[in-house]
Amino acid sequence: MAHTLKHDTRYGQSFTLAVMIELAVFSVFLIYYFFFSQPQVKVHSQPVTLTLKQIDTPVPPKPKPTPPKPIHKVISPPVHKIVLPKPITPPVPVKNVADAFSQHVSPPPPPVEQSAVDQSLKDKLLSAYIEKLRQAIQAALIYPVAAKQMGITGRVRVQFELNAGQTPTQVTILDSSGTGMFDRYAVKAVNEANYPSPPTELKASNGSYQIWVEFKN
Q: How do residues 26-66 score in pLDDT, each as one tens digit?
A: 888 787 777 665 555 555 556 656 666 666 666 777 777 77
Nearest one of 37, 202, 46, 48 to 119, comparing CA atoms:
202
Residue 201 burial by CB count (10 A; 0-12/13-18/19+): exposed, middle or buried? middle
The three-state secondary structure class of 59 is coil
- In this predicted structure, what is the pLDDT of residue 102? 38
21 CB contacts (<8 Å, ≥6 apart)? none
What stretch of H or E contains 135? helix 112-140
Query: In percent, how much of the chain has pLDDT > 70?
Result: 58
Q: Is the pLDDT of residue 192 over 60?
A: yes
**Between 133 and 44, residue with greater pLDDT:** 133
Nearest one of 127, 126, 112 to 205, comparing CA atoms:
126
Nearest one of 154, 115, 125, 140 to 190, comparing CA atoms:
140
- In this predicted structure, what is the pLDDT of residue 187? 96
Q: Per residue in 74-128, pLDDT tens?
A: 666 666 566 666 667 666 655 554 444 434 445 566 555 556 667 888 888 889 9
**3-state helix vs strand vs coil in the chain, percent to 5:** 40, 10, 50
Span 123-215 CATH architecture = 2-Layer Sandwich (3.30)
Cβ atoms of 171 and 158 within 8 Å: the answer is yes
Cα separation, 139 vs 132, in Å, equals 11
**Between 185 and 22, residue with greater pLDDT:** 185
The mean pLDDT of the chain is 76
Report the predicted TM-score, pTM, of the whole model to 2 decimal places: 0.46
